[in-house]
Structure formats: structure tokens, C-alpha cells
Amino acid sequence: MTRVPEPHRCGQIALVGPPNAGKSTLLNRLVGEALSIVTPVPQTTRHRILGVLQRPGVQAALVDTPGFHLPRTEMNRLMIEALDAALETADLFLLLVSAAGRRTPEARFGPPVSQLVARLHGRDKPLVLALTKVDLVRPKQRLLPVIDWAARELRPEAVVPISPRTGDGVERLLEVVLPRLPAGPPAWEPDDLTDRPLRFLAAERIREVVTRLTREEVPHAVAVLVERWDEGPRETTLHATIVVDRPAHKRILVGRGGAMVREVGIQARAALTELLGRPAHLRLFVQLQEGWTRDPARVRELTGE
């Protein structure tokens, strides 16, 4: 009997979930490149970040989204807008929820997760649940009641335990998710990785370093602008401004005698060299724009959205 070939599949998968569920780590693992910044600070992802997964017979545009939370500031509202935009264009929702810790299923999947699930079910698209950070769960039997509760109460099409950090379960997740994408011709060139320009990715690498090195209250009021980009014969020179919201944040970021901003520059140069594949020279400036996170126009201008 002649075997009918499988149709080519192509579609968008929205990676959604609460902050720090592992969405950015999973995106980076799947595309093999650090497209989305990863830090221990919640709500680090502000934008819709798209990475293209290329497999034989399949193209999947994976869209990393800001962690779902209740918006309180103009920046928060912008992040929820980015999430809603990703939901509109997605063909499948991949909900990531951490399995780490000893919370009851009712607490683990309560607000804001339950509110997000209600949004997802209202859009009539396939929903797959990935329970993340299973490498931190001991013993593994503790996963069983969580899986059972989630399958019964959240009604996803499948529940897959994974570790975005180690890769455990990720291939099994793709076996579940990719066949659920719609049939269609390729929408991306074979070597396409993302729809974001290099200047955006460079600014995000600098912001990632700032987030890691500064106090927890500083990163949420920081924006990075790459204002000049000079391609030299041997290196790329970038002029970037780190914009902060409060005088205290500027003092922290500059540091005593400029120590903090120098360290940011050292680590950011290394990250940019890796990103660009050639030596990078970085000139950093710190600028105070008080109240920018509460001004809708300034938020959109400074975050590039």
C-alpha cells in the first residue's frame, strides 16, 4: 500500500504562563540561540519575542510572551498588550507552569494562571500544558497528582512534564505539539531565526546584564537604547544609553566611582561579542528620565513597541 506523505506543517505557538515559568529558557533551547533574555527577576520579558524552529516538514514560529500578571503600571499594560497580540495570531497555546515547590494544585493553578486559562479557552485553539522545572521535583511521584488535577480541571489536550533548563522531556513535548499545527507551506526561509532586528537583540543583551547585576527594584524601570552602530573592519562599536526612572536607580547603576556601569560594560561586551560573532566595543551612558515608566508615549518610545 502506498504511504501518503505527511503534509508540511507551519504555524505559530504562543508560549504563555506566569512569570518565571521557563518560557524564555524553552524558546532559547528550541531555537539553539539566546534570543530571549533569562534572569531570576520576574517579568524580565517585556516584548513578544519570536524564534523559528525548523524541523523536517515543520516550521514553528515560537512566540515568547511576558509572564501573565495583573497590570498595575503603564509598563505592565504594555506587557499584557504584547501577550494579547501573540494570542491573536497563534495557532496553538503552550501553557508553561512550574512544577517546583510544594504548593497544592489549587494554589499552583489559581490566579493568575486560572485567569489566563480562561482567556485561552475563550479563543478555541489547541491548548497544551507543559509542567516545567521537573528537574527540581523530588521524588518524581509528586508530579502525578499535579498532572491529574491539571488534566481534569484545566482541560488541556495534553500535559507534558519538562525541564527547559536540562532539556528533559522537551523532545516529547515537540512530538505532542508539532503535529497539532495546521498544514501549510513554509512561511520562513530555511536559515531564518527571528523577526527581531539585531539592534533590538543587542539592546536586550545589555538589559539582561543590567537585570542580573542590579538590585531587584531597578530592572523594571530600565530601558536600553542602542543609538549608534558602527561597523569597523575588525570590530563593531555600539553606543548605548541605559535610561532609568529615579535618581536612586541612577546612583545604583553608576555605582561608586562608576564601578557598576563598568562591570555592566564588561559583561555586556562579552555578550555582544557572542551575539555578533565578532569583537564588540561598547560605549555606555546612564540617563535619568524621571517618571518614564508612567508615561504611555515614553514607554512605547523607549521599549520599541
pLDDT digits (tens, 9 = 90+) for 137-176: 999 999 999 999 999 999 999 999 999 999 999 999 999 9
Q: What angle do CA 261, 266, 272 make, to 5 degrees?
A: 115
pLDDT tens for each residue of 174-220: 999 999 999 999 999 998 998 888 999 999 999 999 988 987 667 67
- What is the per-residue pLDDT for 27? 93
pLDDT tens for each residue of 262-286: 999 999 999 999 999 999 999 999 9
> Could you give the angle at which helices 23-31 and 170-177 cross, rounded to 10 degrees?
90
- What is the per-residue pLDDT for 305? 55
Compute the average pLDDT of residues 93-115.
94
Grid coordinates of 192: 531564518
> All domains of the chain, ordered by start, with CATH?
9-180 (3.40.50.300), 198-303 (3.30.300.20)
- What is the per-residue pLDDT for 45? 61
Compute the average pLDDT of residues 231-235.
94
List, as own/partner pairs, every contact residues 81-85 make where C-beta atoms lie below 8 angstroms and the sequence separation is at least 24, other chains included: 81/305, 82/46, 82/47, 82/48, 82/305, 83/16, 83/48, 85/48
Please report which confidence band the pLDDT of residue 34 belongs to, taking 50, 70 and 90 as the band edges.
Answer: confident
CB 261 within 8 A of CB 271: no
- What is the per-residue pLDDT for 64? 87
More confident residue, 240 or 216: 240
Average pLDDT, the chain: 89
Radius of gyration of the chain (CA): 20
* CB contact set of 56 (below 8 Å; sequence gap of 6+): none
Compute the average pLDDT of residues 115-128.
93
**d(Cα 181, Cα 8) in Å, to the nearest integer?**
10
Res. 26: pLDDT tops 80? yes
Res. 61: pLDDT tops 60? yes
CB 23 within 8 A of CB 17: yes
More confident residue, 39 or 85: 85
- What is the per-residue pLDDT for 42? 54
**d(Cα 224, Cα 242) in Å, to the nearest integer?**
5
* CB contact set of 173 (below 8 Å; sequence gap of 6+): 94, 128, 130, 160, 162
Res. 1: pLDDT tops 80? no
Grid coordinates of 178: 508539532
Closest CA to 192 of 35, 36, 13, 7: 35
pLDDT-above-90 percentage for the chain: 69
Res. 2: pLDDT tops 70? no
pLDDT tens for each residue of 83-99: 788 889 999 999 999 99
Res. 46: pLDDT tops 70? no
Q: What angle do CA 119, 122, 126 make, to 5 degrees?
A: 95
- What is the per-residue pLDDT for 4? 53
Grid coordinates of 70: 495583573
**d(Cα 30, Cα 166) in Å, to the nearest integer?**
12
How many whole angstroms from its chain centre is CA 291? 25
pLDDT tens for each residue of 70-86: 556 666 677 777 778 88
- What is the per-residue pLDDT for 303? 72
Please report which confidence band the pLDDT of residue 304 belongs to, taking 50, 70 and 90 as the band edges.
Answer: low
